[in-house]
């Protein structure tokens, strides 16, 4: 099942897994990335719930941005390699 999901989200994972440079990976980075992804998705859902009474569609911009950032964090944290997780944190 994991291989199917990796093939489904290849267009996101390829940005973080390309290259052969050295990387500094800590196992805690993956856990923190999962938590950040969950928080961003929760923020998107909360923003959507509180903005139903708004006129126009301008409220969708932060909802979409928060959801996309959260989804990318969740995908990289759960399906990405150690190099992808290290690259999202900045390879220090």
Average pLDDT over residues 37-55: 92
Judge whether 5 and 72 are in contact, CB under 8 Å: no
Instruction: Please state the pTM of the whole predicted model.
Output: 0.86
Average pLDDT over residues 45-61: 88
Residue 55 has pLDDT above 80, yes or no: yes
* pLDDT for the residue numbered 22: 73
Looking at per-residue confidence, does 3 or 22 come out higher? 3
Average pLDDT over residues 24-40: 92
- Domain ranges in the chain? 2-89
Per-range mean pLDDT, top range of 7-11, 30-34, 51-55, 78-82: 30-34
Q: How far is CA 4 from CA 1, 33, 34, 72, 90, in A?
A: 5, 22, 20, 17, 27
């Amino acid at each position: 099942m994991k291989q199917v999901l990796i093939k489904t989200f290849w267009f996101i994972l390829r940005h973080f897994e390309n290259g052969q440079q050295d990387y500094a990976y800590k196992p805690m980075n993956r856990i923190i990335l999962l938590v950040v992804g969950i928080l961003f998705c929760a923020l998107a859902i909360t923003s959507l719930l509180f903005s139903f009474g708004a006129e126009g569609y301008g409220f969708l911009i932060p909802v979409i941005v928060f959801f996309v950032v959260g989804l990318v964090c969740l995908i990289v944290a759960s399906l990405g390699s150690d190099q992808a997780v290290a690259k999202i944190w900045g390879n220090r």
